[in-house]
Amino acid sequence: GPQGRRASATAMDSGYARLPGEDAEAHCARLLQLLQGGSTPEEDEGSNEAEGLEVAEAMLAQKSTEKQSPMVLELLKNLQQCAVYTDTPNSETNRKLWNAYAQSWATDADFVERMSRHVQREAKELSFVGDEWSDAASLTEVLQDWLLPHLAPHLAVAEVGSGGGRVGALVAPKGQRLL
């Protein structure tokens, strides 16, 4: 009956679920073995789990491209660099997103030009990644209200976090040195 089908579907799905204590790469390596119909990494002591993720992604990408339209494939290719995987720690997700953004940043990039127009700035006049996020007056106001009152010429200043250096460039002259 329906409960028997549900139980066998659950049993089948459980083979694909991430096991307790299994990291993402080990999980991918195990899934790859299941997809290829071979032994699992636990059964094959010679397998390299570190390469499992790349091999699984390549195999699945090849299978999915066989039946997709070129337009969809191009869209997926462009979105892939910004994909967020929920089982990845937040710091890894942020690093991936930031790196993709910073690597594609240029004053003549379409997205930078669009963003700079929203804050009444000319993209060609931008100096740092992030200049396109706010107008210069707003950034100056925030720094004057929240940060600059706490700085002194004898202090070393540290900028913590990812960024393009726009805050550091404005803060550096206010302290002894920028770390």
Q: Could you list the pLDDT tens digit for every one of the 179 residues in the chain?
A: 444 433 333 333 446 677 888 887 777 777 777 766 655 444 444 445 446 666 767 777 777 777 677 777 777 777 766 666 666 667 777 778 888 888 899 999 998 999 899 889 999 999 999 999 998 999 999 999 999 999 999 998 888 776 788 898 888 899 888 88
Question: Would you state the pLDDT for residue 158?
Answer: 84
Where b means 16+ CB within 10 Å and e means fewer, 43-71 reads: eeeebebeebbeebeeeeeeeeeeeeeee
Cα–Cα distance for residue pair 159/179, rounded to 1 Å: 7
Question: Would you state the pLDDT for residue 11?
Answer: 35
Cα–Cα distance for residue pair 48/130, rounded to 1 Å: 40
Question: Would you state the pLDDT for residue 131?
Answer: 92
Statement: the pTM of the whole predicted model exceeds 0.75: no
Cα–Cα distance for residue pair 93/87, rounded to 1 Å: 10
Angle at 154 between CA 153 and CA 160, to 5 degrees: 85
Radius of gyration of the chain from its Cα atoms, rounded to whole angstroms? 24
Structure tokens at 171: 């803060």
Question: Would you state the pLDDT for residue 106?
Answer: 93
Cα–Cα distance for residue pair 156/42, rounded to 1 Å: 52
**What 3-state DSSP class applies to 156?**
strand
Question: Would you state the pLDDT for residue 36?
Answer: 63
Structure tokens at 32: 């790859």
Cα–Cα distance for residue pair 45/37, rounded to 1 Å: 17
Structure tokens at 149: 């009152």
Cα–Cα distance for residue pair 9/11, rounded to 1 Å: 5
Structure tokens at 41: 């990494």
Cα–Cα distance for residue pair 19/31, rounded to 1 Å: 11
Question: Would you state the pLDDT for residue 165?
Answer: 87
